[in-house]
Structure formats: C-alpha cells, structure tokens
Chains A and B, each alone.
Chain A
C-alpha cells in the first residue's frame, strides 16, 4: 500500500502534466507548408479558427515565419501567434520545390519527432512555393489543408496514391525501396485557382530524383500492389474504343537474377463504341488479350521511366529481392543503385473478363 501511495505521488512528476491544455485554448494547425529560401527556411502554418456555436463553425488563417532552420522558423511562428502550436490534427504537409530537391528528410524527421504529430498526416510536394498552395482559397472545404488531404482519400481514383508520414518513414528505412510523395499544383480554372494532383515525386535517398507524370501513377500503384480500382482504355482495330474497369487486381513479384512481375486482373466492361456481345467466350478472350497487351506495355513504360529516366527504385524491386532471396540481396545491396537501371524486369499479365452479363447496349 505504501508503494502504491508512493507511486501515486511521483506519477504526476513522471508523466506529462505539461501536456495539459484546455481544448479551446489549443492552436490547431491543420496544414504546414515548408519552403527553402536563400536565407534559410520559411514555414507557413494554416491555423484553424473555431467560432462559438453549437456545431463545428470553423475557418482558417495562415501564419508565416522564416528562420535559419526549420525549428527556428517554427519557433518564430510561436512568437507571432502567441500560442503553442498543436499538430495533433495536422492534415497535410507540403514541401516546396527547393525542399524536395535537397532537404526533405530534415523536415520529415523533425515533424515525426513531435509527440502530437500523427503518423497519418499526408505529405505532398509542390512545383510552386508550398505557401502558395496553402494560401489558396479552398473550393469545397472550409479549410484548404482538409481539401488537399481529401484529394488523396478518393478511394476509387487510381491517381490518388497517398503518402503518409508513416509510409514515408517505412519506405525510407526499408532497404531496396525509395520513397515517393504525391505532387500537388495549382491550375487556373474558371476564374479561380484550384489545387490538383499532378503526379508523384520520386526520391533517391532524401533528395528528389525525378517526377512521374499522373498517367503513370495507376501503373505505379499496380506495381506496388496498392491499386484498388482503375480503368483500361483499349483501342480495338475493329470494334473501336473499349473501356474496361479493373474490378480486382493483385500483383506479385518473383525476384531472382531477373525479376518477374505477375499481375492478375479481373475486368468488367464499362463502355464500348460497338454493340459487341460480351457473353461470347471469344470476345471475352479477345478483350482479355488486348488488356494484357495494354497492361504489359504500360508497365514497361513505367519501368523504363523509373530505371532509365529517374533511376530510382520507388516500386521496391530491391525489397522484393531481399524478402525472397536474402543471399542474392546481400550481393546486390551495396551496388543496387547502379544495378537497378539495368536490372531485367519481366511482366506477366493474366487478365479475365468477369460480370459479362453487364453490357452497354441502349435501353
């Protein structure tokens, strides 16, 4: 009992009484933009303003500050805002072009060490200053960071390949895998700026190695076995344009001296220019063959980009080799960066058409 009493007495000293803050007195940071400037770093924080009301009556404002280091810039924001920043519900962190070119790990490390920073926070890069992205007027949400984060939460869009703080750290620490971060940019549309995803930045180590256009993103997701759904456009010489939806897909790797990527696709017809009868086995087989050819070609393009243009193994072929043949990986690991551009990657696609009763004939 005495020990228990002693534990009770010292307990407040051991744990975070300092974490105490009334919920309405916290300065909730919903988004952060980090830019590198000639004199150091510039940080722009989007702060959520909560107004009195029965529901969630919110708006946002941005506060910017500069400093010699990222930490210094953050401290300068404290001076401006006068309140301790709370990162527990930060939705998006956007890195400007100079940041992604050199210093991204420094910022990620700093944020991941904040005790309140959530690992599910989404990371983005930007070809324009990150602060401009954060300062733009949101179109559908009340807060811009929420809108940007939401771009990645669209389940059915294959282009929405998100990178959260934890996946970034996991990829960075896994041997044989390079990291990627989706890139957002602003376009002028109907008299206003809107933010949209333009592709993904591929890194080599902590610096950007290249950029993968958005047309490659679904195939990049497929190669990483993260694709949930998508469309395949086929240009049939006789039947015209045919669109097939990927109902289910899985990708598996067999890695040895040369890698084999096997992709299994279940497809269903979405749209067709012709009145073909998809119930016929011959037609189904023909469509599957076409889809396999299309898929193989696209994946070939993707690997060509990654191996020859960018030179970064963001798909994680090295990690697949390490998992399946550790002895081979031990030989390859030290020079994997040089080996990867010339590493032979074969693709085998097995497609089948399902839900053949659903055709697109007119009513």
Chain B
C-alpha cells in the first residue's frame, strides 16, 4: 500500500506523479489568511468531474478565511470537522485510493503536518436524465428508466422499496476501470443459493474494463455458449423492483443504464412490463400470443420445408396444387430459397433497427414491397415461401429478448427438416427441450415454473392471474414464497 508520509511537499509530489497522466486534474495550493505558514493545504480535483462551485464556496473559502487555533493540532482533523461545509467527507492515507477518488469526482485536500488527506464528496459530472427506455416502453406504466449513474439508479430502487429489508452491497470490478457495482436484493425473499453463487462468480471476474453490465453478465452467467440468456436485463426501475420482490437479485453496474436480474428463467422471456399495468385478461392473451409467436417463428419454416419436400401428402390437395404451381419455374431448391429469404429478412431487420425511424419505415416498405414482389414476379422465389418467411420473421419480433435463440433454433431445425423431414424436426424439438431442461440459472432450473407446480408459479407464467390471487412472493424461486 502506498501511504502518505506526513511530509507535505513530498506527499504533493507523490500525488502529482500519480495523477500526472490526467491533464484535467487541478492542483491548487492555498492557506488561511491568518497565521500564514502554520497551516497549508493542497487541493486536488478533476476538472469536469467535480463541482467547482461547491469546492470554491464550501471548501476553499472556509479554509482561507479560517483562523487556526494556537497550539498543536492535526490540521486535517480540524479542517474536516470544523471548517469545510460538505456532507460527505472522510480521511484516508492510501494514495491509490486518494487518486481514485480524485478521478471519480471527489476532491482531496492534503494538509501540512497530517499523514491523512481529506476526501470530500464533490462529484458533479454531467449525466443523462432519466428517460423512458426505448426497448421497454409502456402505455400506462411509469416512464422512468435507469441512467448511467449508479447512485441515481440506486435511488430509483430505494424510492420504490422503502424498507430496511432492501440490502445493497457495493463492490468494484475491473482491474483498470475500477467500476462500482451494486448487488441489490430483498433479504427476506432472496434466493440464498443464487446469492452465494453470484458472490463467488463476481470474485472470479477477471477483466480490466467493465464498461457495461453485459461485460459482467457474460462472465458470470451459466451456459456461456448457449444462445438462451441465463441473466435478465431491464432498464426499468419498476421491473427491477418487481424482480427483487420475487426473490431475484438485481446487479447494477456504474456507467450502464441496464440492470441485470438473476436468476433468469425461460418463463421471464415472455413477460413484459406492460402486462403488469393493464387488465390481467389482456395481459394473459398478450402473453399467450407471444408464446405462440415464438413457437410459430421457430417451427413454421422448418415444418413448411419438411412437408413440401418429404410429406406433401399432409397438405390438402388444393394447397398442394397451389404451392406446386407457385414453385414452377423457381430455380433454387426450396431450402436454399428459405435460407436466402431468411437472410434477407434479417438483413432488412438489422438495417431498419440501426437507421433513424423515418428511414427505417421506408426501408421496410422497400424491402417488403420491392424486394418481395419483384423476387416473386421474377420467379427467384415462390410466393408461399415469402408468406411463410414473413410470418416467421414477424412472429419472431414479438419477443425481442428471444431473437438470437429464435434465429439459431430456426436454422438448426431448418437444417434437420431439410435433410430428414418431420423426423428431423421432431428430433430437433426433442433435443432443444432436453437441452433447455438441463440448463440452470444461478442454481435454479431454467425451465422452472413452466409446469403447474404446487408453488403456484404458474400464476405468472403462461398467463397472469389477478393480483388478488397472487398472495405470495418469491414464487418461482424459493418454493412456497413468503
């Protein structure tokens, strides 16, 4: 540990050397007007990170106008207790910690004759205000979203859960970024096994720059190579609080407006914030539609390929003639036709998502009308295939959190269906469900809660029952709930 020596000049030089890489660091020497020479101070702060008005008015001005007492005294102790007007201050002698504090917006005061410096809370950097998250918009719910500032995000949570049962643990991750992270949970509801696993995994995080919650998520999640997410994310404080009420843990990372929730189960994929602010009937219908949407999105294209290539006897005769007629003259085998269209659809979707909304809608129209219509008329592709791909693509967008698993699962099932027909499709589905059943998220089975268990977890899975029937919390995770 690199500590202050008590030699004023030597300590200033050491601090200067430590902070020399940052040209925005300001060093300011000053001393009280009276009894000049007995007390001298040196102030370090980071321009743009600290609130300079606060430093001037509440730190420098009181010290300059202070009249030090007669006799021996520790200047640092005296100034911290009697002179400066800041709500948050502490003394510290570790030079590395002092340098970190300066870089994070606090100001550090070195005093002659003291072997400890004063760290004053003067953070005042600019940040974005709370806005409604683009990806989780609701019509009737709150419009507040997390920001990039950890402490502000914590305040959003604390404002909603005004209880001493709410525990917040601060840790630092990233050897270089030294990012502050907060583990939040409700002590009476939390899944203890998940909490222990999380702590152990966080200890093992070995990464120099933690700049976003995903940097942590990828290192602590179960099944790192699975396309299915085993850690949840939300930008909404109300959702984070609801998850904590269910016994989940919320992990906030400074600099990221995305909170991580864990354990994360498959049933959560189909839940959205809006469903909790509208009628339970509409919410249940919406959820069932999303489940059907995912199933359709994954299976429609592989089933279509399997049926038209291997089992056309399953089609009604009229439909067989109609499909066969539209396939006449199309040069590509149907499986390559499907692959080409799926790729085109995903390209258009990505292009639309990355462009401004005005251009995005135009792009969609151009993609759908011009490309689709022209391709059918030029007989590059068949019209039924365009319909099937469009249906599969649109139903896949219904659950944004499942896009990666849907794309990969669809491709896998398509490959199996194209080679072995319905048998391959069924084998793929069985394999998929087997793999899902094997998965865990922080000690909880990934598919937990999908059945009608005694712990009443079904109350908020396929459907959402009225709140009057949801009497217990922590249902999905801690058995009977509390």
Contacts and interface: CB of A to CB of B under 8 A. Distances in A.
Interface string A137-157: 000000000100000000000
Contact of B320 (A4, A12, A17, A28): A28
A89 B313 contact: yes
Contacts of B311: 19
Contact of A50 (B325, B333, B423, B427): B325
B327 A53 contact: no
Interface residues of A, number: 33
B310 A16 contact: yes
B448 interface: no
Nearest to A86: B312
A246 B313 CA distance: 37
A11 B427 contact: yes
A89 B434 CA distance: 36
Given A54-B383, A86-B312, A17 B419 contact: yes
B324 A50 contact: yes
Interface residues of B, number: 31
A190 interface: no
Interface string A94-105: 000000000000
A24 interface: yes
B320 A54 contact: no
A88 B327 CA distance: 18
Contacts of B134: none
B310 A58 contact: no
B312 A88 contact: yes
Interface in B309-352: 309-313, 317-318, 320-330, 333-334
Contact of B313 (A11, A15, A58, A116): A116
A51 interface: yes
A327 interface: no
Given A24-B330, A56-B325, A118-B313, A11 B320 contact: no
Contact of B420 (A11, A57, A146): A11
B421 A19 contact: yes
Nearest to B322: A56
A266 B434 CA distance: 56
Contacts of B379: 52
B431 interface: yes
A15 B325 contact: no
B334 A22 contact: yes
30 contacts: A8-B427, A11-B423, A16-B421, A19-B311, A19-B421, A20-B309, A22-B309, A22-B327, A22-B333, A22-B334, A23-B312, A23-B320, A23-B323, A24-B330, A28-B324, A50-B325, A50-B328, A51-B328, A52-B325, A52-B328, A52-B329, A52-B379, A54-B325, A56-B318, A56-B325, A58-B325, A88-B312, A88-B313, A89-B317, A118-B313
Interface of B: 308-313, 317-318, 320-330, 333-334, 379, 383, 419-421, 423-424, 427, 431, 434
Given A50-B324, A118-B313, 6 more contacts: A20-B309, A22-B308, A22-B333, A24-B327, A52-B329, A89-B313
The 9 closest A-B pairs by CB, nearest first: A88-B313, A56-B321, A24-B327, A52-B328, A23-B308, A56-B322, A15-B423, A50-B324, A89-B317
